Amino acid sequence: MIDRRIVFEIYRLKEMLFSKRQIAQTLNLDRDTVDKYLKHPDTIYKPRQERPSKLDLYRELIKEMVTQYSKVKAPVVLRQIQDKGFDGEITIVRDYLKHLRHNSKEAFIRFESAPGQQIQIDWGHFGSLAYGDSSRKLYALAVIESKEVMIPLSEYATANEND
């Protein structure tokens, strides 16, 4: 369900003569959703209720199995829950195992080092800038050095000029 602010934005863009496709792309909505709210702006659409899954009764058991044996395969899990009365197929078991394993992974490992022992570098693309009649890609490089004592940048630059 989208809120009134989004409905207002749909109408604002329509007044600016955006097409339904352009409105949908701008607001990251489906074209049918844009069309629906343009035709009936005051209608409140309720989100669909989730249906119960055949797997609901066995989710805790599967979580325990994955906790105990992190690399357990779907056929093994399927056999175990079929013994307990599960009558579904392996596909939903595989999907649930993928969901469990995906949520348990960390995208990074945090570590800390002593001051002056490391630097962190990041590089990114930030779109483009108009430059005369053409556009130029905009990149940024960030380098962070861990220091024990903070030195104002003006003093740092002066000290390096003397070296």
pLDDT (tens digit, 9 = 90+) per residue, 33-56?
Answer: 999 889 887 776 666 788 899 999
pTM above threshold 0.75: no
In the chain, what are the domain boundaries? 4-39, 56-104, 119-162
Element (H, E) at 145: strand 134-145
Position 23 confidence tier, pLDDT thresholds 50, 70, 90: very high
C-alpha dist (Å) from residue 157 to 68, 100, 117, 152:
56, 51, 21, 9
Residue-wise pLDDT tens digits, 80-131: 999 999 999 999 999 999 988 876 555 556 666 776 777 778 888 888 888 8
